[in-house]
Structure formats: C-alpha cells, structure tokens
A = this chain, B = another copy of it.
Amino acid sequence: MEKLVGACVFGQSGGPSAVINASASGVFSEALNQPNITEVYGAAHGIKGILDENFYDISKEKPHELWLLRNTPSSALGSVRYKLKDPRVDNTDYKRILEVFKKYNIRYFFYNGGNDSMDTCNKISKFLLGAGYKCNIIGVPKTIDNDLFGTDHCPGYGSAAKYVATTIMELNLDATVYNIGQVTIIEIMGRNAGWLTAAAQLATAVGGYGADLIYLPEVPFNTDKFITDVKAVTEKNKGKCIVAVSEGIKDKNGKYISEVLNAASATKDNFGHTQLGGLASNLANLVKEKLDCKVRAIEFSLMQRCAAHLASAVDVEEAYLAGQTAVRMACNGETDKMVVFERDTSTGTYRCIPKLIDVALAANTEKKVPLDWIVNGGTALSKKYIDYALPLIQGDSKAPLENGLPRFAKLEKILVPKK
C-alpha cells in the first residue's frame, strides 16, 4: 500500500462523552510522531470546521495539555450536528471538502463520533475515492449509547455506565433512609438502544444497591403493566421501589411513552405552550395518581455523559487506543474503515483488541441490547449482560486535582492561517 505524505485533520462530532477527548489525545500524540504526517490539524466543530477552513494547529499545543485531554470531558475542538446531503442529490459540500483537502494537502482524515458521524465519514471517503483524491480516512467510534454496529462496545459507554451504576447505588442508599415508602424513577439516556439504562443492573447485581425495575426501549412499554410491577415491588419492599427507565421507551405502536403521557395530560389539563415535564416526571405523576404514594423523579440529564471525574480507566485507555490505532493504521495505508473493538475471550481475562471494519458497515446501523438478555418480564438484565458490561467499568481515571477541582486541558486553539 502506498504511503501518503501530507497533513492530517481530526474532527469531533455528535454528543460529547467523558472520553471523546481521550481519543483526541490518542490521535494527536500518535499523529505528531508519524513521519509521513506533515501537519496535525484539529477541525473546529467537526465537519463545519473543514467546510469553513477553521483548523487549530495542534503542534502548537503544549504536550502536557494534550495529555490532560485524556481526562477532560466533552469535545475540546467543539462538536457539530451537521448531516451531509446525499452526494447524488447535492454534492456541493463534498466538492468543497475536496477543495479544502487539496489546498491544505490533507491526506489523513480521522472523524470521531457515532452512527451519523460514521455516515459522514463514509460519504466523504466514497466521494474522495470517486474523485481519485488519495486520502486515508478512518472513523473513530464514540457514543455513550453503545449502539454502533460491528464493535463489541464503544468508547464512552464504559464511563457512562459506571456513572449510572455508581449513582444509582448512591441514590438507593439515599432513597431508603426514611422509614417510609418512596418510589424513585430515574430517567437515563438512550432513544432507541437501552445499553446505558441496562447499566442499572450492574448496581443491582454487583453493587448490591440497585434498581428494582429496569425498562429498556427494546421492549414495548405498557403503562398498566408498569403500575402492576411497581405495586408488586412496593408491597414486597415496604413501599420502596427504584425504577431505572430509558428515555426512549415506546408503546407497542412505537410511540414514545413521554409523548403518550404528555398527550393524555394535555387533553385532561388543557396545557398550552408550556413545556411539559420529561418522561421521569410523567411516570412519577402516573404512579402518584394510581398508587397514591410518595414518588420522586430524577433525570441524569447531561451529567451522565460528561462525568469525567467518574470515568472508567478501561474506557479512557481504550478511547485513547482507538485514536492511536486509527492513526497507525492510516499511516500503514488503510482507508475507508472504522476502528472497532473485538473481545478476546480465549484467556478468561478481559482483553480488547482494536481492529478495522469497512466504515460503510457502521454507518447508520444501530446495535440494540439482545432481547434474550432482557429478563423478568422486561424489567431486568441477565447475567450475560453483567459478563459483557462489567469489564468495561473497571478502574478509575480522572484529571489531576488543582485546588480541589479537576484540572482539565486548556488548549491554545491557535488557528491555522487560511490559505
């Protein structure tokens, strides 16, 4: 395979995670050491930064700050939600990207993100191939949702799962402190795949203080059965019940439960333009109405995806490795691929091996929780899930403390002069 010589650009896309910058750290440290890479650019706000020629010169950053990126949450370069059009319909953006790549002699492109970002990666790769412009392109996976196809798991998932499991353990201890019953409903991210909500089972099965009922979007949600489930737990458990529920649960017709419940309230109460509560408070209202008990709704909100102080060491290392691998493989001539993780189960000890698959395979395909891992009438996860997820949340990795607070990376972000 031909070895390309030229600049590289790295972009971050989609929702942030605790470890997306760990992948950036892996890409940058490797790229700065590769002889065939002449310049290392960071695209400001992903693909938008490429279209607008907004590149940060990573060689001007202090190595220590690039190292601190490993434990700095969110997307240090800025992210974007910009979906490229189908090039058969409108190829304006692609032509612009080609123009920019030529102008800056960009021969390596690394894009970090989830399904949509891999779709972007794939479309650009195919367009440049078609245009005969040589550029090695590799996607770096990232998503707390863990729903990317073709990989055992995604960087970002382990840390978010550790946040969910640890925080539910703490909430369990808090919620049971008074000698009166309380139903606690915890809403967790995941529109279509329930991986993150499933992490509540780690708190229950491993931590010993967990959720009593867990609902994933993979199983149609029935509000009557839900009330029956909660009632059964409270009757067994002195009125106490902890529920972990995915924001994306849907009824048997595929309609989001939050919409169903909002619509019911709207009819009943003549809600106008006022923004309605989220799923957790809707379900809390329902439980209060049906069971007449104390209920508390809790949303993990953005905290679950940016809690770098609670990151999994395994996840941080693997995210770094994913970035490093992408650069190494591209410098070995690979292109049109995405980094994936394969689990080596031969030794009985968890080991994760980075590999490559065609980026087209990962684009726009969602991987869900296997239905046979969901047990107890759709309210718990089996041991198969525990065996799968437990290795991913191991160890601590966090930013050094300065004045008692995390010392996150502070990049200079020096823009490359436009050509």
Among B162, B176, B207, B272, the residue within 8 A (CB) of A268 is: B272
Decide: A170 near B390, CB < 8 A? Known: A268-B272, A275-B285. no
A306 touching B174, Cβ below 8 Å: yes
B177 touching A75, Cβ below 8 Å: yes
Among B162, B166, B175, B274, the residue within 8 A (CB) of A302 is: B175
Residue A405 is within 8 A (CB to CB) of chain B in the complex: yes
From A210, which residue of chain B is reached at the shortest CB distance? Answer: B405
From A12, which residue of chain B is reached at the shortest CB distance? Answer: B177
Decide: A173 near B207, CB < 8 A? Known: A270-B270, A301-B298. no
- Interface residue tally for chain A (C-beta within 8 Å): 72
Q: With A and B bound together, what is the CA distance between A302 and B176 in angstroms?
A: 12
Residues of B within 8 A of A265 (CB): 274
Within 8 A of B (CB), among A254-290: 265, 268-275, 277, 281, 284-285, 288-289
A405 touching B277, Cβ below 8 Å: no
Residues of B within 8 A of A63 (CB): none
A177 touching B16, Cβ below 8 Å: yes
User: How far apart are A11's CB and chain B's nearest CB, in angstroms?
Assistant: 13
Among B302, B308, B403, the residue within 8 A (CB) of A298 is: B302
From A277, which residue of chain B is reached at the shortest CB distance? Answer: B277
User: How far apart are A368's CB and chain B's nearest CB, in angstroms?
Assistant: 24
Decide: A405 near B202, CB < 8 A? Known: A78-B179, A288-B275. yes
Residues of B within 8 A of A170 (CB): 73-74, 303, 306-309, 406
Secondary structure call for the A interface: mixed
Within 8 A of B (CB), among A131-156: none
Binds B, one of A116-124, A190-198, A355-363, A392-400: A392-400
Residues on A close to B: CB < 8 A? 16, 44-45, 48, 72-75, 78-81, 162, 165-167, 169-171, 173-179, 202-203, 206-209, 265, 268-275, 277, 281, 284-285, 288-289, 296, 298-299, 301-303, 305-310, 312, 390, 393-396, 401, 403-406, 408, 410
A-B contact pairs, 27 of them (CB 8 A): A16-B173, A16-B174, A45-B178, A45-B179, A74-B170, A78-B178, A78-B179, A162-B404, A166-B405, A166-B406, A173-B306, A173-B408, A174-B305, A175-B302, A202-B404, A202-B405, A206-B403, A207-B408, A208-B408, A269-B272, A275-B281, A296-B301, A303-B303, A310-B310, A390-B404, A393-B405, A394-B401
**16 other contacts beyond A171-B306, A269-B272, with CB at 8 A cut-off?**
A79-B178, A166-B309, A166-B406, A169-B406, A170-B303, A170-B307, A203-B405, A206-B405, A268-B272, A275-B288, A277-B277, A298-B302, A299-B301, A310-B310, A394-B404, A395-B404
The 3 closest A-B pairs by CB, nearest first: A74-B173, A393-B404, A174-B306
